Homo-oligomer: A and B are copies of this chain.
């Protein structure tokens, strides 16, 4: 060992001990005849002292140490006269007797500090230096802890972690697969899994009863927004369970993680909200529940006053922003501009100020009397000082716009605190989505998702109304995970395929191996998968999952540090029975 202690563990009680430390030089400064060096490792920072008077040569040597040099020192622990209360080792320092430079360092291209001067691109290229920053490393420490706690919790409940293969077959539905050419099977390709969905269902057929896996998954999608081509799932499946059992199990897991990693205890069960209510009250299947500001449907109360915008709208909905009646004209214009942005697409915004003095003032005073406004305000349960914001138009589109407006107001009002967590189950998703273009139903999750038992008879009469035994866990407006109870009854499965427009042959071709397996005694089963990256990101208060991934890729799917992907040799291509053929984009 190059050290007796880490840079994070010495305390007042160690004063007088002779110790050896090793680490990186965070910074050094000369003061009078002394040189002070902050020595850093993963565990902390310890102050080293070199004294011109007692050892001039050593002090001179210390004066030539650069930032990020790796050194080893031996010295005696002493009490600091000028204590630093910000760090745990701040009461001591090391009076250095021996110094050895283990490795020199070039000047880093950006400062290794929590607030660095490095831009995104340079930090990604030198990710190994970016990872030296304490706040970045903390995200990965949290990730380690979360994965560890997930495993501990599930192990205690009898779950087995089973590794499923990475080189599997291509699945015809879903997003695009990454594929891997097989040298030994010319012209054939493996696919990298988008999820171990079918394999975990096979494990249930195998009687594994409770399976989980923290597993890399892959999707070859265009990487808009916060996506990575490879991402990590906490993938779970259970046998002999109903929806309630799955929700209880994973609510338990989630509470355990909050408790052990964030010291937050939820003493009440998580809210359960139907998909229908989520859409109705929040315009989203992943509402942010840190604040209220529910949608109020106003169509009825605003109709018949010759205001054509409202009268002709399929949907009129409002939210009541607390204590915002003081909004200035300029602020209201900003909100109007916000909802009119192409991504949101509303035509305009109607407001009603509920003034503190009880008067009401709206942008549509021309059409609505004070009494009319009063009725609307009552409908919205508005208090004096509140601001009512109203959008109108085609229903789904308007709800979506109102959802964005609600989130914007939540943001402006400081109601979306990253240290507050509002978990929620969204349940009873529709089983099918109707596609106008192809004029057929598609499975909202996948074709093995079970309908709710009480809705099964609707399969024949009104498939669009059938609800699924499917559920999502949402925290602070982020979908952290989701799953469903699967169909284990072959007759019901056949009916599903029929409704989805599959012939028997098509169903067999696409899902043959799983359907065959189901013929040999499939237990009732269901499960759930969390996105680990998102889970860590929300716990760490990060805006991007990239910051909790050690070596992430950029939006072109490139690892700029490794400079991957790259060309491969002609010999390698030939061995793989491939030829590169780049067509110019039309």
Contact = CB atoms under 8 A, between A and B. Distances in A.
B579 A189 contact: no
A240 interface: yes
B562 A513 contact: yes
A84 to B, nearest CB: 21
A207 interface: yes
A432 to B, nearest CB: 24
Contact of A69 (B102, B521, B583): B521
A81 interface: no
A574 B179 CA distance: 13
Query: Interface of chain A, helix or strand or loop or mixed?
Result: loop
A24 interface: yes
Interface string A467-500: 0000000000000000000001110000000000
Interface in A148-162: 148, 151-152, 155, 158, 160-162
A144 interface: yes
A192 to B, nearest CB: 7
Interface string A541-585: 000000001110100111101111111100010111111111100
A300 to B, nearest CB: 45
A342 interface: no
Contact of A521 (B68, B131, B524, B581): B68
A292 interface: no
Given A137-B207, A163-B550, A521-B103, A581 B582 contact: no
A411 to B, nearest CB: 32
A424 B559 CA distance: 40
B186 A176 contact: no
Contacts of A567: 187-189
A513 B181 contact: no
A168 interface: yes
B521 A169 contact: no
Contact of A165 (B241, B522, B559): B559
B207 A42 contact: yes
Contacts of A76: none
A517 B561 CA distance: 10
A43 interface: yes
Contact of A209 (B42, B242, B562, B564): B42
A229 B160 contact: no
A132 interface: yes
Contacts of A6: 209
A192 B164 contact: no
Interface in A180-239: 180-192, 199, 202-203, 205-210, 216, 218, 220, 222-223, 229-230, 232
Contacts of A553: 165, 167
A30 interface: no
A185 B518 CA distance: 40
Number of copies of this kind of chain in the complex = 2
A398 to B, nearest CB: 35
Given A70-B521, A181-B181, A206-B128, A189 B551 contact: no
Interface string A28-45: 000000000000111100
Contacts of A577: 580-583
A148 B230 CA distance: 24
A568 B170 contact: yes
B185 A176 contact: no
A66 to B, nearest CB: 9
A52 B180 CA distance: 59
A566 B517 CA distance: 20
A524 B102 CA distance: 7
B216 A2 contact: no
A140 interface: yes
A206 B129 contact: yes
Contacts of A518: 103
B566 A41 contact: no
A519 interface: yes
7 contacts: A22-B240, A128-B202, A166-B192, A167-B178, A170-B564, A181-B181, A577-B582
Can you list the 7 inter-chain pairs with the closest CB atoms, starting with the nearest?
A105-B521, A169-B564, A131-B206, A2-B240, A188-B565, A68-B521, A182-B565
Given A166-B230, A191-B564, 9 more contacts: A6-B209, A24-B521, A42-B208, A148-B155, A166-B218, A184-B223, A188-B565, A188-B567, A216-B216
